[in-house]
Amino acid sequence: MLKRFGLVLLAATATAGEWQFKDVFAPGAGSKPRLYIVYGAVAVGRQNLAVLQVMTADEKEQRRLRAEHGDSVYFALAWLSSTWSVREWGERFFVREPDMVPKAGDLTRIEQRFTPRTFPKVLVRGEEEGEGEGGEEGVKCPYLLAFPTKFCCFGDELKVTATYELPFVMNNLRVVDGEVWVVGVWEDHLIHRFDLERRQLVEHRLPLEGLRAAMAAAGVKDEEMASVKSPGKELRKVRILPLEREPTTREEEMEHEQLRGFALPLYTLPTSFQYDVAVRGRRAAAAVRSPMGLWVTDWPEGGKGSFVAVKKEDLPALPGGATRLYLLGLEAVDEDGFFAAFEVHLPKTFAQWLVENPTQALEYQKLEGREIAPGEMAGGEIALMGLRFARGKVAESWFQTSGAMEKWRPQNGPIFAYRPGEVWTGIRHKKNAWIRGIGRLH
């Protein structure tokens, strides 16, 4: 959820600047020739289960990894101690970073360029979380590692025991009462139970029409919910098969690289609009980016429920030019309260970006494959916005840019815990980018 060119963090009010990283651990501090970043983690008893992004400064190793896997950067599973030091390394995955960003169906082309990274994600199944070191004995598939189009099961030894593919790009993967649920519009529903034994989706809940009906009852007009729909049926059987001949163009080479990777080519799979689902007890909620709001309904029935539309006056005073906003995720605080986190982009003109950070600006222009006009809105600062919903209203909101941070800054990776008053994320030192770690903002 962090970006190449900056980020933001959560604060108590829209103008608060006193919040800093109070608890800081640096497991990969200056660990040349290999540097690892905690990309996502979950507590398991007295230790942490994490997925690490690993890089190497050794040129010989870089060449070997590129020759064998097409990339020198990879992800690896690991057990970390309570102070975030590595205890045990597990299996590694070579995945193209662009494949970690689901391209939601309601994003414009320019929005897609700046979409936050939300995968890979580590989960613990059911009651094992917090019960011991390594989970309950005898539980099949106690831990999950999720990518946008598939997820893996693995055990205490961190070896993958099974991999499951999905027919669409998911927004999130959830564990509810030990069962695996996939978030993404499919069969006109918002969340789906995946049967590990049968290796398929077997149940669909929270009908899309229920969400639209609740929106309409809240006064949302049809044109405002135009993107809140199912992906086209014609996309369901689309796949890019391996080319029968050697690639002759750079585009074909890139296509081959994707096919050799762990993730499926995302552009061949159906995608839904940006939303997330959280379940707590007898209540479920779906947070939607556009039109922004929260649908709260019964679980598992999924009746009409109610939609809390977010109005301009519900939001903190965002700076002018905050035109791009992304939903990072939804957390259930209790059965009546939910917390949604958003990333907000404060774009600047390409000319401004070129002056402030020419390397990143030129990298962006290269990715675009065209010469960008000086006055075009492009990069800029990023902020994190949090909204807490309670009993049919927006109860509180937070907003802060990274400019208020002192010694540490967020790094290029997702925030893997966000709740009112607490954010855990990977961080880097402001003056030495090789010093990385974990920080809790509070």
Residues 112 and 367: their CA atoms lie apart, in Å, by 12
Stretch 235-252: mean pLDDT: 60
User: Mapping DSSP to helix (H, G, I), strand (E, B) and coil, where does residue 193 land?
Assistant: strand
Task: Note the pLDDT of residue 152.
Answer: 92
Task: Note the pLDDT of residue 109.
Answer: 77
For residue 135, pLDDT beyond 50: no
pLDDT, tens only, 367-387: 777 888 998 877 777 777 889
Structure tokens at 182: 């996939």
User: Mapping DSSP to helix (H, G, I), strand (E, B) and coil, where does residue 223 land?
Assistant: helix
Residues 332 and 274: their CA atoms lie apart, in Å, by 18
What is the DSSP code string of 80-142? E-TTS-EEEEEEEE---GGGGS---TT--HHHHHTPPP---EEEE-GGGTTTSSS--TT-SS-
Cβ count within 10 A of residue 371: 7
Quote the percentage of the chain above a pLDDT of 90.
Answer: 30
Bigger pLDDT: 397 vs 233: 397
CB 173 within 8 A of CB 194: no
Average pLDDT over all residues of the chain? 79
Return the C-alpha torsion angle 397, 331, 122, 227, nearest 10. Answer: -80
Stretch 222-248: mean pLDDT: 70
Task: Note the pLDDT of residue 123.
Answer: 92
Bigger pLDDT: 346 vs 198: 198
Residues 149 and 169: their CA atoms lie apart, in Å, by 5
- What is the amino acid identity at position 229? K
Instruction: Give 306's contacts (C-beta < 8 A, 6+ positions apart).
Output: 214, 217, 218, 295, 296, 297, 392
For residue 208, pLDDT beyond 90: yes
Residues 419 and 10: their CA atoms lie apart, in Å, by 9
For residue 1, pLDDT beyond 60: no
Q: Is the pTM of this model over 0.85?
A: no
Bond into 102 cis (ω within 30): no
For residue 111, pLDDT beyond 90: no
Stretch 108-135: mean pLDDT: 70
Return the C-alpha torsion angle 270, 72, 85, 161, nearest 10. Answer: 50
Task: Note the pLDDT of residue 339.
Answer: 92
Least confident residue range of 69-83, 124-138, 186-200: 124-138
pLDDT, tens only, 410-422: 665 667 677 666 6
User: Mapping DSSP to helix (H, G, I), strand (E, B) and coil, where does residue 212 land?
Assistant: helix
Stretch 291-314: mean pLDDT: 90
Which H/E stretch holds residue 359?
helix 358-368
For residue 234, pLDDT beyond 90: no
Task: Note the pLDDT of residue 288.
Answer: 96
Residues 127 and 69: their CA atoms lie apart, in Å, by 37
- What is the amino acid identity at position 325? L
CB 168 within 8 A of CB 269: yes
Please give the C-alpha separations between residue 32 and each of 12, 52, 360, 429, 436, in angstroms, as whole numbers.
37, 15, 24, 15, 12
For residue 2, pLDDT beyond 60: no
Least confident residue range of 106-110, 260-264, 267-271, 327-331: 260-264
CB 194 within 8 A of CB 201: yes
Task: Note the pLDDT of residue 126.
Answer: 55
Burial class, 415, CB count within 10 angstroms (exposed 0-12 / middle 13-18 / buried 19+): buried
By residue count, the chain amounts to 442
Stretch 380-399: mean pLDDT: 84
Task: Note the pLDDT of residue 60.
Answer: 87
Task: Note the pLDDT of residue 7.
Answer: 39
CB 163 within 8 A of CB 83: no
Stretch 166-187: mean pLDDT: 94
Residue identified by tokens 């049968």 is 198
Least confident residue range of 17-26, 75-84, 204-213, 223-232: 17-26
CB 306 within 8 A of CB 138: no
Burial class, 98, CB count within 10 angstroms (exposed 0-12 / middle 13-18 / buried 19+): middle
Task: Note the pLDDT of residue 332.
Answer: 92
For residue 223, pLDDT beyond 60: yes
For residue 320, pLDDT beyond 50: yes
Residues 402 and 183: their CA atoms lie apart, in Å, by 30
Stretch 26-40: mean pLDDT: 66
Q: Which of 110-119, 243-252, 257-266 has the highest mean pLDDT?
A: 110-119
Residues 184 and 238: their CA atoms lie apart, in Å, by 17
CB 191 within 8 A of CB 174: yes
Residue identified by tokens 């651990």 is 25
Quote the percentage of the chain above a pLDDT of 70.
Answer: 76
For residue 393, pLDDT beyond 90: yes
Residues 34 and 25: their CA atoms lie apart, in Å, by 18
Euclidean distance between the first and the last CA atom of the chain, given in angstroms as a whole number: 19
For residue 70, pLDDT beyond 70: yes
For residue 81, pLDDT beyond 80: yes
